[in-house]
Amino acid sequence: MTTTVIVEPADARFVSDFAGCDFSFEITSEALPPFTGPGLGAIAFVESYIKSYQSDPQELVDAAAEPDTTLLAARIDGRLAGYIALSKAWNGFAEVDDITVDKDARRAGVARALMDRAVVWAKDRDLPGLRLETQSNNVAACRFYERYGFELSGYDRHLYSALTPGTREIALYWYFHFV
């Protein structure tokens, strides 16, 4: 049986439906430097732990009301399964500001459906591609970006150091070019 994922602009249900989702994920490994791309490279297994970004659904909706932005919701059988927030970045690329999939909807094609719609959104605006940032300990997401065709293009070892002193998280920057 195939799962049908519907991706559409977030509507009035988004904020209330968000509360019923679990966007946390398990960290079991981390990517290791050097981050020379185009792919991720070596990884090391770490003691498992759960991570959550604590996004605010109302802030996502409010941000999507700004020019050159959107918030797309993925639904399976009417239930919120994930979302992607996009904006036009300063360098002309479409920026994936946030993408996440509910724990119960993972491995059902939700992330791919969201990314496919992001590509359409960017192409409709004549942008040259997509860019995004994730962390070195979000290996599952990095592997998805690789499979989708993104290229690892840079990193920042200090981006998170003031937020979490002593963190080993490294910001990884990915690009998906349309040409």
Average of pLDDT values for 3-20? Answer: 96
Q: Strand order in 94-101's β-sheet?
A: 5-9, 69-76, 79-88, 94-101, 129-135, 171-177, 151-156
Domain spans, the chain: 5-177
Tens digit of pLDDT for each residue in 120-162?
A: 999 999 999 999 999 999 999 999 999 999 999 999 999 999 8
What homologous superfamily does CATH list for 5-177? Gcn5-related N-acetyltransferase (GNAT) (3.40.630.30)
pLDDT score for 1: 59
Tens digit of pLDDT for each residue in 43-100?
A: 999 999 999 988 999 999 999 999 999 999 999 999 999 999 999 999 999 999 999 9
**pLDDT at position 102 over 80:** yes
**pLDDT at position 2 over 80:** no
Please return the burial class of 165, using the count of CB atoms within 10 Å of its CB with bins 0-12, 13-18 and 19+: exposed
**pLDDT at position 173 over 80:** yes
Other beta carbons less than 10 A from residue 167's beta carbon: 15
pLDDT score for 154: 96
For residue 22, what are its two tokens? 């679990």
For residue 160, what are its two tokens? 């998170």
Beta strand 94-101 pairing with 129-135: parallel
For residue 166, what are its two tokens? 């002593």
pLDDT score for 4: 96
Q: Which helix or strand (DSSP H or E) is residue 14 part of?
A: helix 14-18
Determine if the peptide bond prior to 165 is cis (ω within 30°): no
**pLDDT at position 166 over 90:** no
pLDDT score for 38: 94
Q: Please say whether the dihedral angle defined by the alpha carbons of residues 148, 150, 156 and 159, taken in this order, is positive or negative.
A: negative
